[in-house]
Amino acid sequence: MSNMKKSFLQTKEWIEFQKSLGREIFDFSSDSIEANIVRYNMPFRKNYLYIPHGPIFNFNEIEGGLKNKLAEFVNYLKRLGKENNSIFVKTEPLNGSVMELLYSYGFKKSEKEIQPSKTIIVNLKASEEESLSLMHHKTRYNIKIAEKNNLALSSEGNVDDFWKLLKQTSERDKFSPHEKQYYEKLLSFFTAGEIKTELFFIKHENKHIAGMIALTYGDTAYYLHGAMDREYRSMMAPYLLHWEVMKLFKARGYMFYDFWGIDSKKWPGVTRFKLGWGGNQVEYPGSFDLPISKFWYLVYKLAKRVF
Q: Are residues 40 and 74 in the same domain?
A: yes
Q: How far apart are CA 99 and CA 54, in angstroms?
A: 10
Q: Are residues 143 and 259 in the same domain?
A: yes
- Nearest 5°: the CA angle 11, 17, 23 is 110
The answer to whether residue 197 sits within a structural domain is: yes
Q: Are residues 96 and 151 in the same domain?
A: no
Cβ atoms within 10 A of the Cβ of 44, count?
9
The mean pLDDT of 278-302, rounded to a whole number, is 95
Cβ atoms within 10 A of the Cβ of 175, count?
12
Q: Are residues 179 and 214 in the same domain?
A: yes
Lowest mean pLDDT among 54-63, 99-108, 281-290: 54-63
The answer to whether residue 2 sits within a structural domain is: no
Q: How far apart are CA 61 and CA 34, in angstroms?
A: 12
Q: Are residues 153 and 274 in the same domain?
A: yes
The mean pLDDT of 163-171, rounded to a whole number, is 87
188 vs 43 pLDDT, higher one: 188
pTM of the model: 0.93
Q: How far apart are CA 249 and CA 219, in angstroms?
A: 10
Helix (H/G/I), strand (E/B), else coil: 48:
strand
Which residue type, as a one-letter code, is found at position 40? Y
Check pLDDT > 80 for residue 154.
yes
How many domains are there within the chain?
2
Q: Are residues 253 and 132 in the same domain?
A: yes
Q: Are residues 269 and 294 in the same domain?
A: no
CATH number of the domain within which 55 lies: 3.40.630.30
pLDDT at position 26 is 98
Q: Are residues 20 and 81 in the same domain?
A: yes
The domain in which residue 45 lies consists of: 8-115+286-306
Each residue's pLDDT tens digit, 205-257: 999 999 999 999 999 999 999 999 999 999 999 999 999 999 999 999 999 99
The answer to whether residue 181 sits within a structural domain is: yes
Q: What integer best gives the mean pLDDT of the chain?
A: 93
Each residue's pLDDT tens digit, 110-141: 989 999 999 999 999 999 999 999 999 999 99
Q: Are residues 158 and 87 in the same domain?
A: no
